Chain A
Amino acid sequence: MFTQQNRKSRQLLASGIKSTYDDELYPTRLNFYREPPPLEISIEEFEQFALDRMQVLQALLTAQMRNLTPEQLDKAVGEAIKKYMPMSPNTKGSSATHRQLMEERRKDHISHFILRLAYSRSQELRSWFLRAECALFRYRFEKEMLKDQLEFLEKQNLSWKKVSDEDKRLLREKLKASSFKAGNIDEETYFEVDFERVAGLVGRRQVYIQAGKAFVRLSDQVVLVLDEFKERLSHALEVTGRALPRMDEDDRLMPVLNNINKQYLGREFTTSAIAGEIQAGDVDSLKVHMPLCMEHLHDELRREKHTRHGGRMQYGLFLKGIGLSLEQALLFWQMAFEKLTPDQFNKQYAYNVRHSYGMEGKRTDYTPYSCKSIIMNNAPGPGDHHGCPFRHFSAPNLRAQLAAHNVDEFDTDDIIHKVQQRHYQIACTRYYEVTRAKMVGISAENVKGGLSDSTAGMIASQEVIEHPNQFFEQSYLLMKSKNGETGDGTSSAAGAGAAGGMDGLIASAPLDATVRGRYTYKKAGASISSNVQHDIDM
């Protein structure tokens, strides 16, 4: 038990609350976490609770990242919740006893507050935690029975103005046109709130707004609830963050807390400290290993002698990730923008290149964009070439691209089909399998079947492509191992261009070390989400 000596930290965690838990404390599974948990807990529980909650949050965020269908997502998240932090409903038929119910909710309550402490230290941690907790709250709210939802909301004293029947009649047509889900307007309850509070609905054009007021359906209320939840938690995190220095003297909790928040900030590709082995002149020959998005950016850069901002960021950071040093990057971009004088280049672009290497401004060492970020953020506009080809190309253009990479019609249809189901990363994975199989000279079926042949196994065992640099590194390692196998350093089945490019690279030992080092790092980070992996329909 952590008792007397840790009064200070306990006060942060629990400040003068009554010492029993009962119905009044946890009437439903949902919790706004307004009050700190009232009880003393042991240091073992402290760490275990926190880690269990992390598992759930991590599973949820990972699942959301993957473009899963709602059913797949439900399954993935449901498993994690069941394993690490089950939360039984109030339903009578539930097998959980009352005591169990309260124990579960107590754990939920306590673990939330521990993580709040662990994640309040920096803005980056706070915003990660805020995102994760909002996702979890939303997930649970939507799972809750309507009766419990209403009971929960009633207790929160949220003051939302109901739209009168009269107004509803007047606005009937507009309300109907504002949501394809709208049923019978007369039976639906609408709330009138400032549009600022339902930014998400406004951005998706799923709510009617007039003179700054948004008319929100009861069934969209989760947005409002979430907004409240987010606002309060965000505020609470700031307050906790400010109070945190007082805890620094506590030598029992701080190591635990620091350990927790270091563990899971998502998987990111970072450039290793020894990056800088690739020369500007190598980039063209490395093109064979690039995913379609980067290859396209590269080709357009060569064609236009220029790339707009979005493309420079996406491609530049990718190159940084595969080991292009700042110096070489500056050289690469300056040579690529051949229409500019060195002076123009230095004035307009050099700064941004240095900036993305963390050498200017805030000195943030930017990491390459993940597939998720490329697919979800900053969609390309007119004149842009960045983005994800599977997401942002029209079907005919994507077909043309695939044809140019010798993807046959059967596989193309398969890929397009996946795109239509919005499985962009899976489409990219399929593209990887098909094209890499050709590169090493085995049939894609073998790849899928996972034959004992080590090369085929290598392609097949790879995960869904989640990161352009993962694509590159897998492709690179694959070719390396294949070439190692044949012994002569040249794959007979690989295309002439590919083989030519490989020769020089394989010889470059330092590069290989770089790649392998980072690959291992990524693998380690991936283990946490492995239980979700096989839910993806391949």
Chain B
Amino acid sequence: MSDMDIDHDPSEAQATVEAGQPENQAEKDELEHLFDMDDDSEFMKEVNNPWMPSSKPSGLSSNADDIAGDIHQQLMLYYRHFFPFKPFFQWLNYDPSAKPSKSFLNREICWTLMDDTFIRFQSYRNIDELKQDMVRLNPAKFDLGAIYNIRPKDRHMVRPAAFIPVSKEMVFDIDMTDYDEIRTCCSGADVCKKCWEFMTVAMKIIDVAMRDDFGFKHILWVYSGRRGIHCWIADERARKLNNEQRKAIVSYMEVIKGGTQQGKKVKLPNVLHPSLARSYETVDHHFRNIAFESQEILTKPENWEKMLSVIPDEDVQAQIRRQWESAPTRAPALKWNELKDIIGEEIAEHPGKRQLLENIPRDIMFQYTYPRLDDKVSININHLLKSPFCIHPKTGRVCVPIQIEHCEDFDPMSPPTVPKLVQELNEYDTTHPSPSEGEAKLQDWQKTSLREHVEYFEKFLKGLSREIREKKRVDGASSKSLDF
């Protein structure tokens, strides 16, 4: 406890992190974002506390009654019984041996306590120490930061400039709030099956680009517990990327740009880059369902007006508007064709407008479907991101990995909550007598629905450790040959 920094703001740590030698003013500014305090909706309105029996969480309320009781007690139960420490350690260690490696020893862990106190720059000598602190502090959640050149707890022993982040997974953070301007089914913290499709599209597009274009193999998608998803790319090559290279990947992926005052947020060349051409197939596949069905973009005038504002020609806007208003109940697919036809006719009449209008339907499709990234999280190597297998403090759900092969089937309402896990554990223990001598004792999480999620995580780890072992073998061989 003695060397622990307690501060009522996460950015305390910026002090030291910033000393990690920002390269220019822009980067310095971006460091301000180390923690996203911009979860605006949370501060704009009072969010009900799902932990109190009397209140229900906003949205996702179907099983709010399950999440009752004392939060402290629930978290305590979760950390003691369910949190999968062993695989978690194996991941952070990036070394198949049980001996803690630099990756584990020098990794920053940041605890967020129930009273919003952040404790940054914690690091541990082994997983038991980490577990002790987790159980003792009983945090509402915790984040993973970068792996530094020295142990984060020892950072005061060197001058600030000598405390440097050296590696971290390449991460993506996609939050539903960034879709609020095109989302009509829910807003803010709420999420439903309909808008979850945006997340499905994001996972599909980013995952394939990371694999095919950048050659990454060890990619873990994680549900953020409420309305978003996180992506952890754990390949050694990804962990070693510097900020500039991370930024390059982000802007390679980024298509939606511009603030509230900019109608058209997609600017793409006539010929799409091969990567975008591939993404376009996914966009095309989902656009109809999103715009025509689930988000009702072409059903209600207030929604279609937003779409029309994307068209950079007021004449054309007016023509389409007239057409749609003349028969507002016409099927959305027909309306979409009308939009394309009117644009086509306009180009035929005024060839000078070709460049301006030609790709508008395509760009609208991108604007209404393509992933929206929180770039700050990805770009800064020392940015924090909530760890997998946390409990989301607002919904009570476990932040479980999402099986990318079946991402279409993922239901954000389905991940277990602590009360559910407790119930499952009790049920299991009553129906299964305790194992006799010699029989393997099951971990508690193995007796619950958390099991499939942890097992998927272990599968991800297996691929990773195979590669690490292979690399060790090669390195070992080459270093031997140098040994004379």
Contact = CB atoms under 8 A, between A and B. Distances in A.
Interface of A: 123, 127, 131, 173-174, 177-178, 180, 195-196, 199-200, 202-205, 208-213, 296, 306, 308-309, 313, 339-340, 344, 346-349, 351-352, 355-356, 360-364, 366, 369, 373, 376-387, 389, 392-397
Interface stretch (B9-17, B130-138, B410-418, B448-456): B9-17
Nearest to A128: B24
For the complex of A and B, 10 pairs with smallest distance between CB atoms: A380-B259, A212-B215, A361-B15, A199-B248, A203-B248, A211-B215, A351-B9, A203-B251, A377-B26, A384-B259
B119 to A, nearest CB: 15
9 contacts: A199-B247, A205-B275, A205-B276, A347-B9, A362-B15, A373-B25, A382-B260, A383-B181, A392-B259
A243 to B, nearest CB: 17
A386 to B, nearest CB: 7
B12 A177 contact: no
A383 B40 contact: yes
Contacts of B245: 196, 199
Contacts of A208: 273-274
A203 B247 contact: yes
Interface in B201-258: 212-216, 237, 241, 244-245, 247-252, 256-258
Contacts of A210: 212-213, 215
Given A196-B241, A202-B248, A361-B14, A381 B160 contact: no
Contacts of A131: 24
B252 A202 contact: yes
Contacts of B28: 364, 366
Contacts of B309: 396
Given A203-B247, A361-B18, A377-B26, A386 B37 contact: no
A309 B37 contact: yes
A213 B309 CA distance: 39
A215 to B, nearest CB: 11
Contacts of B372: 381-382
A204 B261 CA distance: 24
Contacts of B38: 308-309
A90 B161 CA distance: 44
Contact of B274 (A177, A346, A364): A177
A362 B19 CA distance: 7
A349 B42 CA distance: 13
B214 A212 contact: yes
A384 B275 CA distance: 28
Contacts of A339: 44
Contact of B43 (A177, A178, A344): A344
B252 A383 contact: no
Contacts of A360: 11-12, 14-15
Contact of B18 (A346, A352, A362, A389): A362
A383 B212 contact: no
Contacts of A389: 261
A321 B43 CA distance: 28
A313 B12 CA distance: 17
A379 B257 contact: yes
Contacts of B12: 351, 360-361
B261 A309 contact: no
Nearest to A339: B44
Interface stretch (B69-77, B264-272, B331-339): B264-272
A195 B213 CA distance: 9
Contact of B26 (A196, A202, A352, A373): A373
Given A381-B372, A382-B372, 12 more contacts: A177-B271, A196-B241, A209-B213, A210-B213, A211-B213, A212-B214, A309-B38, A373-B26, A379-B258, A381-B257, A387-B259, A394-B263
Interface of B: 8-9, 11-12, 14-16, 18-19, 21-26, 28-30, 32-33, 36-38, 40, 43-44, 116, 160-161, 177-181, 212-216, 237, 241, 244-245, 247-252, 256-265, 269, 271-277, 309, 312, 314, 372, 375
A361 B16 CA distance: 7
Given A127-B24, A383-B260, A392-B261, A306 B248 contact: no
A65 to B, nearest CB: 12
Contact of B215 (A127, A174, A213): A213
Contacts of A344: 43
Given A203-B251, A308-B38, A378 B30 contact: yes
A383 B32 contact: no
B23 A174 contact: no
A308 B18 CA distance: 21
Contact of B263 (A340, A373, A384, A396): A396
Given A347-B9, A362-B19, A377-B26, A384 B260 contact: yes
A386 B32 CA distance: 15
A516 to B, nearest CB: 26
B262 A378 contact: no
A124 to B, nearest CB: 9
B276 to A, nearest CB: 7
Contact of A203 (B21, B43, B212, B252): B252
- Most B CB contacts (10 A, CB to CB) among A195, A349, A395, A397 go to A195
A376 B237 CA distance: 29
A364 B247 CA distance: 24
A488 B155 CA distance: 62
B405 to A, nearest CB: 20
Contacts of B32: 309, 313, 352, 355-356
A171 to B, nearest CB: 9
A383 B262 CA distance: 10
Given A196-B241, A213-B215, A377-B26, A177 B33 contact: no
A361 B274 CA distance: 44
A204 B273 CA distance: 10
A133 to B, nearest CB: 14
A422 B126 CA distance: 55
B8 A394 contact: no
B52 to A, nearest CB: 19
B100 to A, nearest CB: 28
A196 B245 CA distance: 6
A382 B259 CA distance: 5
Contacts of A351: 8-9, 11-12
B262 A392 contact: yes
A308 B40 contact: yes
B37 A348 contact: yes
- Most A CB contacts (10 A, CB to CB) among B43, B257, B269 go to B43
A394 B262 contact: yes
- Most B CB contacts (10 A, CB to CB) among A296, A361, A366, A395 go to A361
B264 A394 contact: yes
A195 B214 contact: yes
A380 B178 CA distance: 12
Contacts of A205: 252, 273, 275-276
Nearest to A377: B26
Contacts of A394: 261-264, 312
A347 B213 CA distance: 42
B271 to A, nearest CB: 5
- Most A CB contacts (10 A, CB to CB) among B15, B19, B25, B180 go to B25
A209 B241 CA distance: 16
Contacts of A199: 244-245, 247-248
